[in-house]
Structure 1
Amino acid sequence: MEANLDLISTLPQEVLLHIVSFLPLKEAVRSSILSTSWKSLWTRNHVHLDIGSDGIAANHEGVTQVIGEILRSYSCPEMQKLCLEFSKTGNEPDKLTLLAAKGVDKELHLDFAEEQQATRTFHLKLEHPSNQLPEIPSFASLKILHLRAVSHLAENMLPAVFSKFVSLEYLKLENCIGLQCLDIKAGGSLKSFSVLDCPDMADLTLSAPNLRSFSYRGALPWIQLKNVDNLAYVMLDMADGLGQNEFDCEVLLSLLASLKDVEILSLSGWLLEWLCSAGVIFRQLEFRFSKLKELSWIESSIDKPRRDSMADFLDICPSLERLFINIDRGRKSFACPHFHQFWHEPYFGMDYTTLKSSSSQAKHLKFVKLAGCSNQEDELHLLDILLKKSVVLQSMIVASAANHSWQVVKIPLSQLRLTTRRRTKQIATRLSPNKDCYFGFIEEENRSLSPFHELRRMT
């Protein structure tokens, strides 16, 4: 292996550049550790721009010209280090440093992580002016933009650069400390938008007429989605809890209503739990997730309020076909507050039998997977509810934290012996919470026939 690397490293630089041109940008960057020859592929002279006392807002032309030069060709990956310096009267000059990495798939990564100065909160408004052609032609071909660790020093410069990317299809913002308000008004080309781990985010407004995918991970902000009628996939992973805003049922329900036409939805379970604890009854809402085919429910554990809130939410997902329940015990858990006023009358006082009988059937649900299962009583209650609600279920799988999987089937008390006798592999069983049936657990690697099909033949 080392001999092959030594041999490749002796090739001319233009040949090495041609080799890395076939790699995704991340892999191309990693190739720099192979040898000194590979590292030199990424060595570029630092670009120093003296912005002057007027600041970046008045002198962003130099930045756009440099980035335009970087984007002049996508024949091979390239990286530049931009050092921007502008003076302030009576103070030390501010310095803004960013790494600009270009990939062959028409992508650009702008990383501000080398900025060492303490950041403060800031707002960011990124907009594509309608019917405006870019002054620098190389900007028009960019498809993917990844912004990482943006600081307040780029608050004025970044919008000027962003406005040039009129053909942008994929946009991601990540680890932007201090970013408090984000306002995106994108053109018709933007298809995918992600905001990940921006801890100070309090307000997010998004307008993108042809957007298909929207992902958010972090603390709960106020999210306003405008002109996003083509959304198909949405992830709302509020892994960091409530954030800076108070919990507002109307605001959150308005957000959910704006997502009623999505086909794939992933969201944090505590959002549903808190809504129900505040008195929201999903079955009484005016909207339904009529097009939703796949739902992922993310939580740190399952208890009765979380279980019941999800069961109620399923009643407004009439077309659901696939349900993924992801239990990650390493995630933060957020205690539900006490609500003094209720949006509706809370229903968590229902007993288990009443809850099951009041739930509507999931007429199209074919596949259920519970990942992170610990075989606790509340998890068995959830399995019981889902098996009762499902009409055409073809597969229910539970997986432990160690990723060991079992197929689950509901076995009537009278059929237990016949079921175990007719199978070549023994079925591990457990009495249901209501003691009216058994749950059969069949190891995935030992399953030759769907237990749902076999059980239907026997009964």
Structure 2
Amino acid sequence: MHNTITMYEQNSDIISTLPLELLLYIISFIPFDSARLTPFVSTRFRFVWSQALLVAHSLNGSIEAISRFIHNFDEHDPSKNTRKLELHLDKSTFVSTILAPNNVMHMSFVYGGSKEEDSFCWRIQTQDQIPKRVESRGFLVKTLCLDSVYSLTHEVVSSMVLDFSLLENLKICGCKGLTSLTIDSPSKLLHLSISGCTKLRYLDIRSTKLKTLHYQGFLPSIKIHEHFNLTNAVFDVRQGPNYCNNALDIGPLLLIIKNSQSLTLCRWMFEELINPSISSSWTSFQFYKLHDLRWIDNSMKQENINSLISFLKFCPSIERIFITIDTNTYSSKEETTVNDYYGRKHARVLRNLKLVKLEGSKSEEGKNQLILALQEVVDINQPLLILSSFP
């Protein structure tokens, strides 16, 4: 009986005995979301999934093969529905392209050079006109994720983006040589995310439809050419500024985040840029629609808490506050004082605040000081939940 069970167990995994070519053919019929789970189906499939891609070589460093790969894609044709392409530009550099579900395309550049990447300026422009008809063939890109684009490939990528007439979501990360970026999408782009571009000093945005802007890294000089109303704005600039003195015109930036419902902000950005502008020019400025605030700071010192309270007085509709304490967060070298005259004169009771969550701070004293400070601006009849956690 024992031997019979053993033989059955040995022969039960019939799929693993099939030739690699046949396994790849089977995968080609499976939807992507299911196909990527095949490593859990069979021991053999663990290796098959990593090989279910096209490998090509470029003789002249061109990435035109990627355009052909996108254009020829046909989800219903097993011979054309491969979703991964690895294009080798030379012995040490290649581009990985993945066509994911929901019209998402990932492009990741792996640069094998030993020298530091050359600096470059980049302009990305999208088609302004809506196509009269959408081609039934090919892969339609609505979300584009670009990782580690470098000086020798950025122009080709820009020309490729021009063909993505339905592009709504653009994510750029890890472009270490990028110093200046221009986004020119007058009426199409809805979501823009930029992170890990450590040399970026200038960011120009020309758009009227942008709804979300996520920026992570050193804060560059940002120029807004057209007005648009963001609903979600993230400025995770805990690394500090990366622009020359007075090179950032905060006025247009304030206008696009004024109606945000969700906002991520560092204390230093409020103290150095936002508060001076509001105090001197816009005495009636309010974040009327702001519901969720994510506040990044380096400590819970009393003066830091005072800055947070000053900011909250501009947010009459705030409901949730998430405070992240990161000791490596940039802080002004010169002592900055927050003018709270407007806050004292027009202090509004926070009647909608329901939750405050503090992360990364082990200081009970800081937490208690925060609670005392909040009592000055929170409606005493409003139940308030305060949570804290740290690694």
TM range, normalised to the smaller chain?
A: 0.7 to 0.9
Greater Rg over alpha carbons, structure = 1
Structure 1 CA distance for aligned equivalents of residues 129 and 181 of structure 2: 23
1:397 maps to amino acid: I
Q: Is residue 24–residue 105 contact of structure 1 (8 Å, CA) maintained in 2?
A: no
Structure 1 CA distance for aligned equivalents of residues 135 and 112 of structure 2: 27
Cα displacement (A) at 1:108: 1.2
Query: What does residue 383 of structure 1 align with?
Result: 371
Structure 2 CA distance for aligned equivalents of residues 218 and 28 of structure 1: 37
Cα displacement (A) at 1:250: 6.2
Pairing of 1:409-424 with structure 2 (within 5 A): none
Q: In the alignment, which of 13, 16, 24 is matched to residue 13 of structure 1? A: 24
Query: What does residue 246 of structure 2 align with?
Result: 248
Query: What does residue 270 of structure 1 align with?
Result: 268
Structure 1 CA distance for aligned equivalents of residues 39 and 221 of structure 2: 36
Q: In the alignment, which of 55, 77, 82 is matched to residue 87 of structure 2? A: 82
Residues 11-40 of structure 1 show CA distances to partners (whole Å, capped at 9, x for unaligned) of: 643333444622497x78999995333333
DSSP-derived class of the 1:151 partner? coil
Q: Rate the CA distance shift 1:372–1:213 in 2: closer, same or farther, 3 A.
A: same
Residues 112-135 of structure 1 show CA distances to partners (whole Å, capped at 9, x for unaligned) of: 123425321111111113227599
DSSP-derived class of the 1:153 partner? coil
DSSP-derived class of the 2:311 partner? helix
Cα displacement (A) at 1:200: 0.6
1:141 maps to amino acid: L
DSSP-derived class of the 1:39 partner? helix
Q: Rate the CA distance shift 1:161–1:117 in 2: closer, same or farther, 3 A.
A: farther
DSSP-derived class of the 1:333 partner? coil
Structure 2 CA distance for aligned equivalents of residues 193 and 138 of structure 1: 27
1:242 maps to amino acid: P
Cα displacement (A) at 1:73: 3.5
Q: Is residue 167–residue 188 contact of structure 2 (8 Å, CA) maintained in 1?
A: yes
Query: What does residue 233 of structure 2 align with?
Result: 234
Where do 5+ consecutive residues of structure 1 fail to align?
Answer: 86-93, 403-459
2:33 maps to amino acid: F
- Is 2:148 aligned against 1:149? yes
- Is 2:139 aligned against 1:131? no
When the two structures are aligned, how many residues end up with a matched partner?
A: 371
Cα displacement (A) at 1:9: 3.9
Q: Rate the CA distance shift 1:17–1:230 in 2: closer, same or farther, 3 A.
A: farther
Cα displacement (A) at 1:221: 0.5
Query: What does residue 159 of structure 2 align with?
Result: 160
- Is 2:57 aligned against 1:47? yes
1:98 maps to amino acid: V
Residues 259-281 of structure 1 show CA distances to partners (whole Å, capped at 9, x for unaligned) of: 10111111122212334896964
TM-score computed with the length of structure 2 as normaliser: 0.80
DSSP-derived class of the 1:145 partner? strand
DSSP-derived class of the 1:152 partner? coil
Q: Rate the CA distance shift 1:281–1:309 in 2: closer, same or farther, 3 A.
A: farther
Structure 2 CA distance for aligned equivalents of residues 369 and 130 of structure 1: 42
- Is 2:75 aligned against 1:73? yes
Query: What does residue 397 of structure 1 align with?
Result: 386
Structure 1 CA distance for aligned equivalents of residues 89 and 93 of structure 2: 5
Residues 58-78 of structure 1 show CA distances to partners (whole Å, capped at 9, x for unaligned) of: xx7665334423x44388552
- Is 2:354 aligned against 1:366? yes
DSSP-derived class of the 2:289 partner? coil
TM-score computed with the length of structure 1 as normaliser: 0.69
Q: Rate the CA distance shift 1:30–1:78 in 2: closer, same or farther, 3 A.
A: farther
Residues 261-303 of structure 1 show CA distances to partners (whole Å, capped at 9, x for unaligned) of: 1111111222123348969649964422111111110223222
Q: Is residue 127–residue 185 contact of structure 1 (8 Å, CA) maintained in 2?
A: yes
What stretches of structure 1 move > 6 A for 4+ residues in a row? 2-5, 27-33, 134-137, 276-280, 355-358
Q: Which has the higher contact order (CA 8 A, sep 6+)?
A: 2
Query: What does residue 110 of structure 1 align with?
Result: 107
Query: What does residue 223 of structure 2 align with?
Result: 224
Query: What does residue 322 of structure 1 align with?
Result: 320
